[in-house]
Amino acid sequence: MWYKFSRSKLSVIGLFIVVSVILLAIFAPFIVPYPLHAGAYTDFANANQAPSAEFLMGSDNIGRDILSRIVFGLRSAITMSLFVLAISVPFGVFMGLIAGYFQRSLIDSVITRITDIFLSVPPLVLALVIASLLEPSLRNAMLAITIMWWPWYTRLVYGQASSISRLDFVRASELSGVKWWNLLFKEILPNCVSPILTKVTLDMGLVIIIASSLAFVGLGEQPPAPALGNMVADGAKYMPEQWWMTIFPALAIMIVVLGFNLLGDGIRDLYSMEDK
Amino acid sequence: MKNGLLTIKRLKKYFPYKKGLFVKAVDGVDLQIAEGKILGLVGESGSGKSTIAYTTVGMYSATEGEMVFKGQDINKLAVDRSLDMKGEIQIVFQDPGSSLNPRRNIKQILEVPLKLHSRREKSGFPSTTKEILEEVGLAQGYLTKSPRSLGGGERQLIAIARSLATKPSLIILDEPTSALDVSIQAKVINRLLKLQETFNLSYLFITHDLSLMRNVADRVAIMYLGKLCEEADTAEFFQRPLHPYTRMLLSSIPVATEEEEKLKPTKIKSTGEIPSSVYVPSGCSFHLRCPEKMDICPVVDPEMKLISTGHYVRCHAVKPEDEVNQ
Amino acid sequence: MGKEVILSVKNLNVNYRVYEGTMKVIDGLNLTVNMGEKVGLVGETGCGKTSTLKSILRIMPQNCIYSGEIYFEGNDMMKMKSDKMRNMRRRNISMIFQDPTSALNPVFTIRDQLYSVIRNSIPERKARNKREVEKIAEKALKEVYLADPQRVLAGYPFQLSGGMRQRVCIAMALATNKDLLLADEPGTSLDVTIQDQVLRLIDELVAEKGLSVLLVSHSLGVVREMTDRIYVMYGGNMVESGPTKELFKEPLHPYTVALLDCVPKLTGEGIRATISGEMVDYLNPSKGCRFAPRCKKALNICHSTKPIQNTVGSSGHWVACHLYE
């Protein structure tokens, strides 16, 4: 499997980025040069420093190390992505399985109508609305993103599950008396895994973008905690003279998202190769 | 006719098509399968043979009619049947590509029905995955294989093994070999015949292949547009095909030997198309293609008549033997 | 022989590059079709029938490596430039496919498709004349007994039944004067009574137009009823060939014998599973006879040396088997 995966260099690069980012996020307090700078720390003597040996990516307007804050920002972005997907994916998948298996039943139409409503509103707008109705905080941002995220999985699994539940092996299990929940989880779900896994990987990056966008407009993680979106927004005021305050966090977002996208493509190719 | 294992009476299954119109997939069919016997149900596409199969296992609910299995009414959907009843009537599907879950191995595939029906005692039936594999003639090594790595014939054997795991009395075979090459078909058919003998199974064998039924079935029934045309014991059926449609079918089969050529009715040639089962022709539905059409045929739909022992024909042109003799 | 040869395939090799290595599918295959002759090519799934057909038309997939000579009316098609090849296909060879549904484009009317086929297969000067094309189309539809050709022409493929679609395909194939007809499992996807009509129709038109035919099928029955001479193919090799009647009466190669035994007969002799074992592994096929691993009569030599064609009798019947040396 690794052999097939490694045949595409891009997917390997993606995997490398994702693994290093995750390691960075886990060991952030031990790796970064100034762990304290991730909080409400001020050191006006070193404010607005350009990148140097002391501050590899420069420092911000109150003298905090940008690199340290980026690593901690990544940590919170990844945690947030994982949290959002850990809730929305199982829920969305379950809804999709039920609606797909019980074709043309009441429960099918209820679930599909609800997802239709969610999907008809652009995701960022919906998240903005929800997040602004609530108090701005990391928790509420996560909640907002989670609420708008699950219908995509319902839609994805719905199509897959409805075509698979029409196949003979599902019929055969049904006719020998297998209960419907066993059918859903043991016969149908394993056949939906590859698109789900691909989408989860791609979505890790997407959630980071959305979360950063929320943070950019001040609806996500609140200062002084570091969020990549906040950092970009704060730094933007000092452009172009103190470019490092904006460019480095923005690059961090880009690289992480790119990493997840490349990995997602790799996983998709791997499964499509296996299905042949 | 003795009381059979499965008796189907006046079975009708209509599917709604457009406003006020129905696809009359099955339109009043009587069938009986005796215990330990093989009934071949033969027909072309759109004849309703598969609909009968699916209704019998409870995938569809019948529009009208009766279905009795071992004295119990089974005219209901599979979800409303008891677990025992589901085990008693099994089905093997046509397409070897989709009949097994590609994400599970053979052992897992066989274990599910085996565990579900482990409490029901029925002597002689295998109780472990290994024994089941042995019954269908596959080596133990297959247990860990994935369906993807198997050929069509092996997959069908596994599908048969899976249906065997529920300890059935009746297996409905929906064209189980039509997607296979003849050499593989021969293997699968031989295995099916052996299993039938070992476990005293009954088969409802759905197929479009008359030559295959000549060698497999105890009794053969022909369907055309949702109705039976002719039904008889196999030997009688092939010696004395009476319905014009049966003879047209027989004459159309491409055969591989001279001896068979002699058995084919020569005076009849296939003509016309199979009409849609939404707009079924009036009277006898075959009259548009029938070379022996009479004035009565487009008007009155003939009844199924007993011609000689066990030989039923639904045709105006065929008269029962006693009447002919008089 | 003395008969004029229209198609001859000499020493054809077809290999496919796949993930696991190279599949040596067709291995030194020879085949000839004489003028006005109906030749059948019969074998099971995966024996290389389709690859043979595709190489003759030179429509091979990208991962295919092939070599050999294919002469059509004296010209080596393997060496022909691709545009000349295309013209040759259009003007002189026609093809009938197994599945009439996928052979027709669902978004064009029958008229569009039939006209474009006709335009492409007649000289350009004539093709510009609309009346001429119309005339040919109408005649072609009449020949395949399609009642009401105007309605058929105006319709889309999905509006026709399977049998009618197959007739349209035949009309397309035979609308203009061709020399060779390649038929790939004609009628197999249709019901028996419809298939019978289609086969009779092809037979009739072929006789009328004096075409040469190469019919590829897995059905021994179809081949027996349609052809004068047949080739039996197994695992990318020709194992036996001869006049159809003789070959069915007296099959010689153990594979032919076994295959005939497997076919369910109307005479009801039961079904014998006479071929055990697995299909050839093309990644590393046996060095000797490719059927040897499954052959009940295999000798030692069968596993090591490739058998040559041994002629039996005077009618051109030969068999590639060590038992007949």
Q: Does the beta-carbon distance from B208 to C199 stay under 8 Å?
A: no
Residue pair B226/B48 in contact (Cβ under 8 Å)? The answer is yes
Q: How far is C14 from chain B (nearest CA, A)?
A: 23
Q: Work out the minimum CA distance from B127 to partner chain C, whole angstroms.
A: 28
Q: Which CATH superfamily hosts domain A11-22+66-275?
A: MetI-like (1.10.3720.10)
Residue of chain A minimizing CA distance to B81: A177
C266–B214 CB contact, under 8 Å? yes
DSSP letters, B153-170, are HHHHHHHHHHHHTT--SE
Asked if B162 has any chain A CB less than 8 Å from its own CB, the reply is yes
Q: Tens-digit pLDDT profile for chain B (326 aa)?
A: 456 899 999 999 999 888 888 999 999 999 999 999 999 999 988 899 999 999 999 999 999 999 999 999 999 999 899 999 999 999 999 999 899 999 999 999 999 999 999 988 888 899 999 999 999 999 999 999 999 999 999 999 999 999 999 999 999 999 999 989 999 999 999 999 999 999 999 999 999 999 999 999 999 999 999 999 999 999 999 999 999 999 999 999 999 998 898 888 887 888 888 888 888 899 999 999 999 899 999 999 999 999 999 999 999 999 887 776 65
Phi/psi class of residue B20: alpha, beta or left (left: φ > 0; alpha: ψ in -120 to 50)? left
Average pLDDT, integer, range C162-169: 88
Taking CB atoms and an 8 Å limit, are B270 and C275 in contact across chains?
A: no
Helical residues (DSSP H) of A134-226, grouped into ranges:
138-164, 168-175, 180-182, 193-216
Q: Which chain B residues contact residue C268 at CB under 8 A? A: 214-215, 234-235, 238
Of chain B residues 44-103, which have a CB less than 8 A from chain A? 57-59, 78, 83, 86-87, 90-91, 93-95, 98-103
Chains that touch C (3 or more CB pairs under 8 A): B
Contact B273 C267 (CB under 8 A): no
Q: At what angle do helices B152-164 and B182-199 cross, to 10 degrees?
A: 10
CB < 8 Å to A170, chain B:
101
- In 3D space, the residue among A32, A84, A49 whose CA is nearest the CA of residue A209 turns out to be A84
| A98 touches A184 (CB < 8 A) | yes
Treating both helix axes as pointing N-terminal to C-terminal, what angle do A244-275 and A228-236 enclose, rounded to 10 degrees? 140
> What's the confidence (pLDDT) of residue B326?
56
pLDDT at C1: 44
Query: Exposed, middle or buried: residue A135 (CB in 10 Å: 0-12, 13-18, 19+)?
Result: exposed
- Per-residue model confidence (pLDDT) at position C83: 87
**A236: Cα separation from own chain's centroid:** 24
Distance from CA of B282 to the nearest CA of A (A): 34
Q: Which tens digits make up the pLDDT trace of A233-275?
A: 888 888 788 888 888 999 999 999 999 999 998 888 888 776 6
The pLDDT assigned to A31 comes to 83
Residues of C with Cβ-Cβ distance to B269 under 8 angstroms? 196, 200
> B162: which chain A residues are within 8 Å (Cβ-Cβ)?
172, 176
- What confidence score (pLDDT) does residue A138 get? 80
Asked if C319 and C243 count as a contact pair (C-beta separation under 8 A), the reply is no
> Which of B186, B208, B212 has the CB atom closest to C273's CB atom?
B186
DSSP structure class, residue A188? I
Report chain B's terminal Cα–Cα distance, integer Å. Answer: 25
Which residue type is seen at A7? R
Asked whether the beta carbons of residue B250 and residue C266 sit closer than 8 angstroms, the reply is: yes
Q: Which of B93, B102, B103 sits opposite A172 (nearest CB)?
A: B93
Q: Do B215 and C225 touch (CB under 8 A)?
A: no
pLDDT at site B1: 43
The Cα–Cα gap between C7 and C33 comes to 5
Residue B215: in which H helix or E strand, if any?
A: helix B210-216
Q: Given CA atoms A15, A16, A17, A18 in this order, what sign does their dihedral have?
A: positive
Q: Is A186 on the interface with B (CB under 8 A)?
A: yes
3-class state of residue C123 by DSSP: coil
Contact A176 B102 (CB under 8 A): no
Tens of pLDDT, residue by residue over C148-157, are 888 889 999 9
Which chain B residue shows the shortest CA-CA distance from C277?
B184
From B129, B199, B203, select the one nearest B170 (Cα to Cα): B203
Q: How far lies C157's CA from each of A131, B158, B234, C151, C168, in Å?
A: 54, 38, 39, 12, 9
- Ordered DSSP codes for B37-104: -EEEEEE-TTSSHHHHHHHHHTSS--SEEEEEETTEE--S-GGGS-HHHHHHEEEE-S-TTTSS-TTS
Are residues C248 and C236 in contact, defined by beta-carbon separation less than 8 angstroms? no
Q: Which residue has the tokens 């609606």?
A: A99
Residues for chain B: how many in total?
326
CB-based contact, A139 to chain B, within 8 Å = no
Cα-based torsion angle of the residue sequence A27, A28, A30, A33 in order, rounded to the nearest 10 degrees = 150
Q: What is the 3-state secondary structure (H, E, C) of A46-107?
A: HCCCCCCCCCCCCECCCCCEHHHHHHHHHHHHHHHHHHHHHHHHHHHHHHHHHHHHCCCCHH
Structural domains for chain B: 6-221 (3.40.50.300), 225-324 (no CATH)
**Please, what is the angle between helix C162-174 and helix C192-209, to 10°?**
10
> Cβ–Cβ of B116/A171 closer than 8 Å?
no
pTM score, whole prediction: 0.89
Domain positions in chain A are 11-22+66-275
Give me C191's structure tokens: 């019901």
Q: What is the DSSP letter of B172?
A: E
How far is it, in rounded angstroms, from Cα C48 to Cα B271? 34
pLDDT at C2 over 70: no
Residue of A175, A180, A185, A188 best to disrupt the B interface, most CBs of B under 10 A: A175
- Which tokens go with B182? 């003849």
Residue C198 contacts B, CB cutoff 8 Å: no
C-alpha distance from B68 to closest chain C C-alpha (Å): 32
Token pair for B103 = 């994400």
pLDDT value at position C122?
83
Nearest to B219 by CA among B200, B229, B232: B232
Average pLDDT taken over every residue of chain C: 89
> Least CB-CB distance to C264: which of B211, B252, B273?
B211
Q: CB contact, 8 Å: B254 with chain C?
A: yes
Q: Which residues of chain A have a CB within 8 Å of the CB of B57? A: 175
pLDDT tens readout for residues C233-268: 999 999 999 999 999 999 999 999 999 999 999 998
A49 vs A14: which has the higher pLDDT: A14
Alpha-carbon dihedral sign for residues B209, B210, B215, B220? positive
Q: Do the Cβ atoms of A191 and B103 come closer than 8 Å?
A: yes
| Residue C137 and residue C111 in contact, taking contact as beta carbons nearer than 8 Å | yes
B109: number of Cβ within 10 Å? 26
C132: exposed, middle or buried (Cβ count in 10 Å: 0-12, 13-18, 19+): middle
Contact A175 B104 (CB under 8 A): no
CA atoms within 13 A on the CB side of B284: 26
The verdict on C267 touching B (C-beta cutoff 8 Å) is yes
**Amino acid (1-letter code) at residue C318:** W
Which chain B residues are Cβ-neighbours of C278 within 8 angstroms?
Answer: 151
Whether the link from the prior residue into A224 is cis, omega within 30° of 0, is yes
Closest CA to C56 of C44, C41, C46: C41
A145-200: per-residue pLDDT in tens? 888 889 999 999 999 999 999 999 999 999 999 999 999 999 999 999 989 999 99
| Binding-face residues of C in 36-95 toward B, CB within 8 A | 44-45
DSSP characters over C74-99: TEETTTS-HHHHHHHHHHHEEEE-S-
Q: Is B137 exposed, middle or buried (0-12, 13-18, 19+ CB in 10 A)?
A: middle
Instruction: Report d(CA A276, CA C303) in Å as an integer.
Output: 32
- Would you state the pLDDT for residue C235? 92
| CB pair distance less than 8 Å for A176 and B113 | yes
Q: Are C260 and B258 in contact (CB < 8 Å)?
A: no
The answer, for A234 touching chain B at a CB cutoff of 8 Å, is no
